[in-house]
Amino acid sequence: MKTIKHLLTLILLIVLIPAGSAQMYRIHQDNVKPSKVMDYEKAAKAFNEACAKHNVQTSWATATTNDLKYIYISEIENMAALDERPFADMAKAMGDDFGKLFEDFDKCYDSHSSYIIHLSKDLSYMPEGLSITQEGQDYRKWFYIYFTPQNARKVREGMEAIKNLYVSKKAKEYYRVYRNGFGTAEDCYLVAVSSKDEIDGATKSKENEKLLGPDSWDTFKKVMDYAERFEEVSGRMRPDLSYAPKN
């Protein structure tokens, strides 16, 4: 029954995400205990150093949230990529030391998860070029907009209306939109906004609010009227914990 449910979810996502507009990312999320943050940081840096030493042929961007989630973001071409084993050669070369790297991680959290999200290019607003990272803008605000399946189309129409508003006003606050994918528990859009720091983000938001005007709520209401709940999370990208091979 669980397999059938997962298959139906995947089919639904394929139907709802327009062809050519989505980019797929594998997310691994570690929910770190407050008392273990420094130990986790040490383990994460040791793992990165080992990957660099063995020139592991994969890459990821890392983000941390204010509620101590460590998020590893890897772009993948398709679901078949989940079967790849990029650390196999590294594990063979390191022997027991490879397992110890993960034992050090495991001491730092009681739960972690992996899932898929899709970058919705047609709903994102980045007129100067679409990228998940921007130099000098590592601070993040993530807005989660949850909705039920029956309201999926209405929420998408609302997201389209918001982008059209930003385009028409030539807004200077840019954002990327992601759609939940395989392995996630609820339907949602994730909106990511980049800035230099918290003050820069608040300044941009205030200026953008003024630019959009007092009538902009009528447009945002097209989403909020159909949302089940709304969550806001802050954090930052961590280039020091991100990884890319030498070649």
Beta strands in 77-207 (DSSP E): 109-120, 139-146, 176-180, 188-195
Among 212, 216, 223, which Cα is nearest to 158's?
223
Mean pLDDT of all residues in 219-231: 96
Whether residue 11 is predicted with pLDDT greater than 80 in this model: the reply is no
Task: Determine contact, residues 131/237, Cβ cutoff 8 Å.
Answer: no
pTM attached to this predicted model: 0.86
pLDDT at 7 exceeding the cut of 70: no
pLDDT at 6 over 70: no
List helix spans (H) across 54-151.
88-94, 96-106
Distance CA 206, CA 224 (A): 20
Q: How confident is the model at residue 83 (pLDDT cuts 50, 70, 90)?
A: confident
Q: What is the pLDDT of residue 53?
A: 95
Spatial neighbors of 55 by CB under 8 A, at least 6 apart, are 245, 246, 247
Q: Which residue has the tokens 């998020």?
A: 71
Residue pair 12/149 in contact (Cβ under 8 Å)? The answer is yes
Separation between Cα atoms, residue 12 and residue 201, nearest integer Å: 35
Encode pLDDT of 94-151 as tens digits: 999 999 999 999 999 999 999 999 999 999 999 988 888 888 999 999 999 999 999 9
Q: Where are the alpha helices (DSSP H) in 54-95?
A: 88-94
- Tens digits of residue pLDDT in 151-208: 999 999 999 999 999 999 999 999 999 999 999 989 999 999 999 999 999 999 999 9
